[in-house]
Structures are given as C-alpha cells and as structure tokens.
Chains A and B, each alone.
Chain A
Amino acid sequence: MSGKDRIDIFPSRMAQTIMKARLKGAQTGRNLLKKKADALSMRFRQILRKIIETKTLMGEVMREAAFSLAEAKFAAGDFSTTVIQNVNKAQVKVRAKKDNVAGVTLPVFEHYQEGGDSYELTGLARGGEQLAKLKRNYAKAVELLVELASLQTSFVTLDEAIKITNRRVNAIEHVIIPRIERTLSYIITELDEREREEFYRLKKIQEKKKQLKEKSEKEIARRLAELGPMAEPVNLLMEETDEDLLFE
C-alpha cells in the first residue's frame, strides 16, 4: 500500500507541466478502463442470463434422454454391451475458437460431427426406432452440454478480467491520481514560496541599497561641511570667456 506521499521530484515549472500532463493522462486512462469494465460487466450479465436458461433446459433434456434410454431398453433389450464394444473413434468432436470482448479473449466451443454413424445397424432387428430417438435425444443433450461448457468458461474468464480491470480503475482513482495531485500541489506551493522568497529578497536588497545610499550621502555631506567653502573647480562649461584665448 502506498502511503500518503508524493512523488519525489524537484519542484520547477517544468516539473509542474510534466505533472499536469501526467494527471491528464491518468484521468483519461481511468475513464477508458471504466468503459472497458462496463462493457465487460454488460457481457457478463448477458452470459449469466444465458447460463441460467441453458441449465434449466439441460435438466429437461437430460431427463428426456434418460427416459428414452429406458424406452429403448424396453423395446430392444440390453444393447449396452454392444454399444460399449463398438466404440473406437469419437463421432462428435469439439473445436475451440476465440471470441474478443473489449480486449478480453474468450474461448468458445463448438461441436462438429465427424465420420458416419457407426451405430447405424444397432437395433436392426429390435427397437430400431427407439434407438434412433435415443440417439437424437442424447445428441441434443451433448450439444447443450458443449454450449454450457463454453458459457461457463467465458463466465469464469470474464469474472477474472472484470476483477482485474476494476482493481486497476480503483488503483488509478484512489492512489495514482491523488498522488499526482498531491505532487502538483506541493510543486505549486514550493514555487509560490520561492516567489515570495524572491520577492522578499528583492525588497530587502532594495532596502539595503537605499540605506547604503543614505549613508553614503550623509558621509559626503559631512565631509563637505568639514572642508568648508571651497572654490568650486572651474567649470569649463559655465565659463563665458577664456583667458587663455588670445583672439576671440
């Protein structure tokens, strides 16, 4: 946790400009992050609603699929061993794709069918219709499951992303910006103080100069008085005639 301190920087006008720019930058950053967090939350709520819908639907579909299994067993006898024996490659596969929401990549799963139906001939002699219905029901259930899986992973990823973004927004708002503001105010106060010091110094100097001047004038006056009246030196400029000039 940072304390209530400011950035250590030499207070100068340049530093002030720099700090102002940084403050502006921090504020813009915070606004952008807030927008990102809002977009993520909106998507989050959408996904949540979809998850709830899909889960209730899933309950229904699984129930129906289990019941159609019972029906198929009633009509066709026990075909579970046949099915288990004939398993080799997966017929329904899942692909992962990436979806981008406000800069966050979310994984999305989609299922695709590969290869033919290797259980086509099961139940040829008994219960074929029920087996076909059973296959359809469970295929639907698998589709729903894949959808639910991708919704839930995006849910978890988005949750993480929202937490991080909100943390950053709060950090900027409550730590970075106040710190910069404090630095800025410190610089301003320092500068003001320096100006005042300058001003005071100037005033003092002026005073001192005046004092000095007074003192020196007094000195001169005193010395003048001591000397008595004295002829003034000839002022070339004041003299009208000059003795030394022979011809005028």
Chain B
Amino acid sequence: MSGCAELSFNVDNGYLEGLVRGFKAVILKRVDYINLAQCETLEDLKLHLQSTDYGNFLANENEDLTVSRIDDKMKEKLFTEFRCLRSHSVQPLSTFLDYITYSYMIDNVILLITGAVHQQPVSELLPRCHPLGNFEQMGAVSIAQNSTELYNAIMVDTPLAQFFQDSLSEMNLDEMNAEILRNKLYKSYLESFHKFCKENGGTTKEIVCPILEFEADRRAFIITVNSFETDLSQDERSQLYPTCGKLNPEELRMLASAEDHEHVKAVADHHSDYKLIFEGSGDSSSDRTLEGRFFEYEVKLNTLAFLNQFHFGLFYAYIKLKEQEIRNIVWIAECIAQRQRSKIDNYIPIF
C-alpha cells in the first residue's frame, strides 16, 4: 500500500509538496531569532527581516512602523502562500487543506454571531475576520435571529454544518456563552478531522493523527486548568473535551472532576510525554508556563512531519509552524517596542 502511495502521490501533489518544502526551508532558524532579539528598534527589525525570505514585505510602509502592521503583513503573506497551495490542489489534498481552514472559520463564525447578538453592523466585523477562514455566507450570518434560523438558512450550506449538529440542538443563541460554543464547535471539528485522517490512511495517518491527538489532549488539560477559577460546571467542562486524544474516557472523567492543579498533574502522569510537560510547571517561577511547554511540544511534533515524504502532514505542519513563527516575531517586536528586553528570549525556536 505504501508503495502505491509513493508512486501515485507525486502525480497530484508533488508540485505542492515541493512548494511547501521550499516554504519550510526559509522558516527562521535559531540564529535568525538571536539576530532579531538583538535589534534596538523596529527599524532594525525590519532591516533584519529583509535578509530573510520575508524580503521587502514592509518596504511600502511610510508611516510609523508599529507591531500590529508587522503582524498584519506577515499574516497576509501566509494567507497568500496558503491560497496558492489551495488553488492548485486536488482531492483529497483539497479536503485536507479545507479542514485546516475550518478552525479559523469557527473563530470567524463565533465573532459574527456575537456581533449579530449585539446588533453590530456586518461591515465592521468582516475586516476583523481571519482571512484563512473566509467563506461565502459570512455576510449573511448577522441576519439570523436565532439558532434554528442560523442553522437552517446559512450554516447548512457551509462546511461547518456537521460541527453545529452536536452543539446547537437545544440552546438559544444568546444564552450560550460564545466561548462555550466555540469550544464545542472546535471539539466536533477535531474529532471529524481525526476521523478523516484515519480514513485516509497511510503515512498521513501516522504523522497527522498523533498531532491531532496531542491537540485534543492539550485542549482538555488547558480547559481544565483555566476553568478552576470560573464557575464552569463539571458537566459543561466534560462536554468540551475532545475524545480523539490519547486520554481514554476514564481519564477524561477524572479531569472533569479535577479541582486543582495536583489532580490534573496526576492524570497527566499516566502518559510519559505529558508527565514531562507538567514537570516543574507547578511553580510559577519557571521560565516557561504550562502553555508555553505545550507550544514547545507541538512545535516538536510538527517538525517531525518534515522527516517523511508523500503525506499531507507537511501542509498542516507548515501552517502551524508559520503561525508560531509569526507569533515569535511579534513577541520580539513587542519586547523591543516596549523596551522590556528581560523576557525577549521567551519565543519558541523552531529549527
């Protein structure tokens, strides 16, 4: 089976794989980050970025360079690259790439729904949506008055229809907190994505499924830890845990009833890799927070994707790593702009 995959993969996807490997090769290395961290001003940063693949993306900026401009421009570049990949792809790669965009679509839909609930004009909200998550029916979301209308009129045509089925059955649109809705949609999305990769089989399944399982477990842990201070009930909490991760149902139940950090750590100790992440994250004086360590682990898993060929995991890993790179550069830029250089090395190096 794997022999056939290797032979036939390049017919449809070889060009795109080459393209993505090219993109991957110019992701900033450690030495680039060290150079960036030594810049004194944002102008210096711009100069340094010009020598990387980012080139002259900031060349047309006449007004004062702010961190948000840098952020926007980098996101634009990523979006252009992704659009190029998506437009050239065929099945099943195109479905895979669409799955990647669903998570951004979920964010956009939540944004538009909350905007509609507060009667804000659509034209204000549209520019704020993430470009990777654009879909045609976005403008129409604000017209819906309640959830059934929303579902029947609009959502049913979008790819997000399948995710809404689990969550929108009983609740009214305004009652449910936007965050809970977002997390429920994300849970359905993760499980559906995981199933898709499993069905696709082959190297894709071997590479992407562990990443998705880690993502699912990470969300479960972080939702638990962050909901300690809030009045999120245990039932609601357990409804938000994706089940496609390595944590079996018994452990998920233990997480749902966890009351403090120690319980969560106890659950994590069942798996050796999660145990490492939680090690030493109890004390707040460590230089990486719990979430930072999760990010690190994710980056490590994603870089492993590039060691194999002929699978779709490359594309997923590339998007995630590029996002992490954007976050790193924005972090360094903010530290420089606010003259707080003490924590400037808190970025997560990729290669």
Contacts and interface: CB of A to CB of B under 8 A. Distances in A.
Contacts of A85: 111, 114-115, 118, 120, 178
A121 B111 contact: no
Given A67-B338, A128-B225, A121 B177 contact: yes
B331 A82 contact: no
A120 B231 contact: yes
Interface residues of B, number: 40
B222 A125 contact: yes
A44 B317 CA distance: 64
Interface residues of A, number: 26
Interface stretch (A9-17, A30-38, A73-81, A187-195): A73-81
A123 B227 CA distance: 10
A132 B230 CA distance: 11
A66 B338 contact: yes
B180 A121 contact: yes
B330 A129 contact: no
B334 interface: yes
A61 to B, nearest CB: 13
A70 B335 CA distance: 8
A226 to B, nearest CB: 132
A86 B222 contact: no
Contact of B179 (A77, A124, A129, A130): A124
Contacts of B183: 124-125
A85 B340 CA distance: 30
Contact of A82 (B111, B120, B231): B111
22 contacts: A63-B338, A67-B338, A67-B340, A70-B331, A74-B327, A74-B330, A74-B334, A75-B291, A85-B111, A85-B114, A85-B178, A86-B178, A120-B229, A121-B179, A121-B230, A124-B223, A124-B227, A125-B182, A126-B291, A128-B222, A128-B226, A129-B290
Interface of B: 110-111, 114-115, 118, 120, 125, 128, 177-180, 182-183, 186, 219, 222-223, 225-227, 229-232, 240, 289-292, 295, 327, 330-331, 334-335, 338, 340, 343, 346
Interface of A: 63, 66-67, 70-71, 73-75, 77, 81-82, 85-86, 88, 120-130, 132
